[in-house]
Amino acid sequence: MMAEINWPGVWAIFHHEMMRFFRTIWQSLASPVVSTVLYFVVFGAAIGGRIQSVEGVPYGAFIVPGLMMLTVLQQSVSNASFGIYFPKFSGTIYEYLVSPVGWVEVTMGFVGAAAAKAILIALIILLTSFGFVGVHILHPFWMLAFLFLTALGFSLLGFILGLWAKSFEQLQIVPMMVITPLVFLGGAFYSASMLPPFWEAVAKLNPVLYLISGFRWSFFGLADVPVGVSLVAVAIFIGICFAIIRWIFMTGWRLRE
Amino acid sequence: MTGIIEIDNLSKEYGGGTKALSNVSMSIEEGEIIALLGPNGAGKTTLISIICGLVVPTGGSVRVGGYDIGKDWRAARKLIGLVPQEIALEPFETVLNCVRFTRGLYGEGPDDAYIEQVLRSLALWEKRNAATKELSGGMKRRVLIAKALAHRPKVLFLDEPTAGVDVALRREMWQVVEGLRRDGVTIILTTHYLEEAEEMADRIGVINKGQLLLVKPKDELMGEFGGKTLRIELDEPLQAIPSELAGRGLVLAPDGLEISYDYDTRAERTGIARLLGDLAAQGITVRDVSTRQSSLEEVFITLVQEDRAEKAENAA
């Protein structure tokens, strides 16, 4: 299977997608950085000043992993969905369908680029946060691993969204109506243990909670759920996304007549 | 000898039961230009879309360069270049990057010297750093051709290459195709401009309602279906065709200054010499003589009408 992969094809798609990002580098970077600064000012300084600490971690630092996750999730989904939707919209999708690239190459190219952009932006947010709060990362390797897996998983989800969408409205509605609420309710700004027992149980149905929890653990060693459970949850999520994408390309759903 | 493209019993039926193609079989030889002719909705685009991988067939098979388009799709697609009917380009991308990108998709490493050669041959080199949205319609279409040639395909599909293109540009496009033929590229083009098929193709396939009515060398097709007309210009106007010349299907022009005579080039005797002799015998002075072959348009209309008549007969 590996021998069959058209690597120059993967690179062509990846490079093409990254070039689009760098063409609009300031727009791509400015908006997440500005919104992060606002979160720090509002939640970290104004409100956080009264909260003091959560489970021994200063509130300003506590929200850093949540903010990074919020951005990674939003960026992964929007980059990947837009990346594949745009050729569908402009008609250039035909090129991917007639050239010797299969679902593996197309997915690696688009999802790889979307994930790379999201990771880059998350790291810039981390650097920005150093200017506001003292953040110490306990497990840097696992921090990067969670970042990578989350970016990968949600870029895959975004890719499916882009393949499914028939209009720009559909493309925007899912991130707005689904992703953002899941992140806010997934403990980006609080610990699930701060919730009453019933709501804590409900919150644990939210897959994003496992991501944020695992990610926060890599920073502070604190987790709402065991880290192993977080990793397994992400792995299952990625596996399901791959299976759906494979099915879409094999059947040609919304791609081929 | 097997052709570079072998189409066997190819069919496509859409969800609603619409048959876009019915049992189409044909063989395309390497290096030839074949024009697929047919009215709108005849199935031309469906046929080439299946070969290129855009549409999934419901029956039959296609081999390109010996590779099955289903089982050996990677190898088959590497041999093919497609210029689609609709202009579809990334608006903010430069011409050069567009072509490089396509080359990459086909698994080929960078080769800027070859890309330069392609862009120069299509008169696009000067525009290589322009974003595609800044180009004229004709240039955009040439960019599509450049992209389709980026990986040196052996077979090039041109789907309605001159649809909505002005006359000058159409001529220009024909020259491009002629150049590609010289390089040995096999070309399959669809068109509903008969003039285009007449001008460029070696062979012509006529498609109507999803069926391939025939595939023939252009000259043979024209010879078979195309009678010729002899036009005789006269010095003095005639009131009527003299009774001595009746029964030969002669038609006198309203001004009485021209007689036209239809004849069959394949007949043993065309009757031209006798007619001219008889005119002289009647004291009719001939000023000039010319012949005219029926155009492909007439041939095409005849074919499609025959097909309709046959179907009506079968139905009755």
Angle, nearest 10°, between helix axes B137-149 and B112-121? 140
- Interface mutation vs chain A, best among B62, B72, B105, most A CBs within 10 Å: B105
**Cα pseudo-dihedral B100, B105, B107, B113, rounded to 10:** -10
Question: Regarding predicted confidence, which is higher, B305 or A3?
Answer: B305
Mean pLDDT value of segment B61-82:
96
What digits encode the pLDDT tens for the residues B111-168? 999 999 999 988 899 999 999 999 988 899 999 999 999 999 999 999 988 776 777 7
- Contact assignment for A8 to B88 by CB distance below 8 Å: no
**Is residue A2 predicted with pLDDT exceeding 60?**
no
Q: What percent of chain B has pLDDT over 70?
A: 97
Instruction: Tell me how far apart the alpha carbons of residues A11 and A9 are, in angstroms, rounded to a whole number.
Output: 5
How far from each other are the two terminal CA atoms of chain A, in whole angstroms?
Answer: 27
Mean pLDDT for all residues in chain A = 88
DSSP reduced 3-state for A114: helix
Lowest mean pLDDT among A96-100, B26-30, B66-70, B268-272: B268-272
What's CA A38's distance to the chain center, in Å? Answer: 20
For residue A136, pLDDT beyond 90: no
Please classify residue B35 by burial: count the beta carbons closer than 10 Å to its beta carbon, then call 0-12 exposed, 13-18 middle and 19+ buried: buried
Q: Please, what's the b/e burial string for B75-92 (b: 16 or more CB within 10 A of its CB; e: otherwise)?
A: ebbbbbbbbbbebbbbee
Q: What pTM was estimated for this model as a whole?
A: 0.85
A6-20, A173-187, B92-106: segment of lowest average pLDDT? A173-187
CB contacts of A12 in chain B (<8 Å) are 100-101, 103-105
Domain boundaries B5-223, CATH class: alpha beta
Minimum distance, in Å, between the CA of residue B260 and any CA atom of chain A: 52
- Pick the residue of A92, A101, A256 with the most B CBs within 10 A to test the interface with B by mutation: A92
What phi and psi, each to the nearest 5 degrees, are found at residue A4? -80, -15
Rounded-to-integer distance, Cα B178 and Cα A77, Å: 47
| Cα A65 to Cα B279: distance, rounded to the nearest angstrom | 103
Minimal C-alpha gap between B52 and chain A (Å):
6
Q: B245, B241, B150: which is closest to A12 by C-alpha?
A: B150
Query: Chain A window 22-61: which residues touch B at a Cβ cutoff of 8 Å?
Result: 23
Domain ranges for chain B, please list them.
5-223, 227-293
Assign A57 a pLDDT band (cuts: 50, 70, 90): confident
Distance from CA of B303 to the nearest CA of A (A): 30
Segment A61-86 shows an average pLDDT of 91
The stretch A83-92 carries a mean pLDDT of 93
Between vectors from CA A192 to CA A188 and to CA A198, what angle results, nearest 5°?
A: 135
- Stretch A237-256: mean pLDDT, rounded? 91
Cβ partners under 8 Å of residue A66, min gap 6: A183, A187, A188, A189, A212, A216
Lowest average pLDDT, out of A151-160, A167-176, B82-91, goes to A167-176
Chain B residues touching A13 at Cβ < 8 A: 104-105
In b/e form, how buried is each residue of A103-135, taking b as 16+ CB within 10 angstroms? Answer: bbbbbbbbbbbbbbbbbbbbebbbebbeebbeb
A88, closest residue in chain B (CA to CA): B88
* Residue A21 banded pLDDT, cuts 50, 70, 90: confident
- Residue recorded with tokens 């072959």: B293
Which residue from B214, B209, B170, B220 is spatially nearest to B191, judged by alpha carbons? B170
Within 10 angstroms of residue B271's Cβ, the number of other Cβ atoms is 15
For residue B287, which phi and psi values (nearest 5 degrees)?
-90, -45
The tens digit of pLDDT for each residue in B152-206 reads 999 999 998 877 677 777 787 888 888 888 989 999 999 877 778 888 899 999 9
Q: How large is the greatest C-alpha to C-alpha distance in chain A, in angstroms? A: 60
pLDDT at B235 over 60: yes
Second-level CATH architecture of B227-293: 2-Layer Sandwich (3.30)
Contacts of B240 (CB under 8 A, 6+ apart): B252
Residue A3 has pLDDT above 60, yes or no: no
Give the residue from chain B lying closest to A6, CA to CA.
Answer: B107
Q: Please, are residues B25 and B11 in contact by the beta-carbon 8 Å criterion?
A: no
- ∠ CA A122-A127-A131, nearest 5°, is 135
In the A/B pair of chains, how many CB contacts fall below 8 A?
Answer: 81
Q: How far is A89 from chain B (nearest CA, A)?
A: 10
Q: How far is the alpha carbon of B91 from chain A, nearest alpha carbon, in Å?
A: 8
- What gap in Å lies between CA B89 and CA B190, rounded to an integer? 21
What are the φ/ψ torsions at residue A77 (nearest 5 degrees)? -65, -45
Instruction: Note whether ipTM > 0.90 here.
Output: no
pLDDT at A33 over 90: no
Percentages (nearest 5) of helix, strand, coil residues in chain B:
40, 25, 35
Cβ neighbours of residue B32 closer than 8 Å, sequence gap 6 or more? B186, B187, B202, B203
Q: Report the pLDDT averaged over residues A160-165.
A: 95
Question: Are residues B294 and B225 in contact, defined by beta-carbon separation less than 8 angstroms?
Answer: yes
Return the residue of B nearest to A23 by Cα: B92
Confidence of residue A1 (pLDDT cuts 50, 70, 90): very low
Q: Using CA atoms of A150, A152, A154, A160 in order, give the dihedral in degrees to the nearest 10.
A: -160
Query: In terms of C-beta distances under 8 Å and separation of at least 24 residues, what long-range contacts does B174-178 make, across chains too?
Result: B174/B199, B174/B200, B176/B121, B176/B122, B176/B142, B176/B145, B177/B33
pLDDT at B15 (0 to 100): 83
Q: What is the pLDDT of residues A211-230, one digit of tens each?
A: 888 899 999 988 778 888 88
Average pLDDT of chain B, as a whole number = 89
Contact across the interface for B49 and A257, Cβ inside 8 Å: yes
Q: What burial class does residue A178 get, using C-beta atoms within 10 Å of its C-beta: 0-12 exposed, 13-18 middle, 19+ buried?
A: middle
Query: Across A126-135, B11-20, B25-34, which has the greatest mean pLDDT?
Result: B25-34
The mean pLDDT value for B77-103 works out to: 95
CB contacts, 8 Å: B146 with chain A: none
Chain A partners within 8 Å of B107 (Cβ): 6-9, 100
Grouping H, G, I as helix, E, B as strand and the rest as coil, residue B61 is strand
Q: Where do the DSSP E strands lie in chain B?
A: 5-13, 19-28, 33-37, 59-64, 67-68, 80-83, 155-159, 186-191, 203-208, 211-217, 228-234, 251-252, 258-263, 286-293
C-alpha closest to that of A244 among A156, A168, A169, A154: A156
Residue B1 is predicted with a pLDDT of 58
Number of Cβ within a 10 Å radius of residue B206 = 23
Bridge partners, B156 (sequence order): B81, B187
The mean-pLDDT minimum among A8-17, B76-85, B268-277 falls in B268-277
Q: Which has the closest alpha carbon to A189: A104, A41, A64?
A: A64
pLDDT value at residue B34: 96
Pairing type for strands B80-83 and B251-252 reads unpaired
Q: Do residues B33 and B187 touch, judged by C-beta distance below 8 A?
A: yes
Which residues make Cβ contacts (< 8 Å) with residue B48, sequence separation at least 6?
B36, B82, B157, B159, B188, B190
Strands A53-54 and A57-58: antiparallel
Gap between the terminal Cα atoms of chain B: 41
Return the structure tokens found at B254: 């309203």
**Mean pLDDT on B204-227:** 84
Q: Which residues of B touch A92 (CB under 8 A)?
A: 88-90
Which residue from A11, A16, A98 is facing B53, i.e. has the nearest CB?
A98
Q: Which residue would you say has higher pLDDT here, A164 or B162?
A: A164
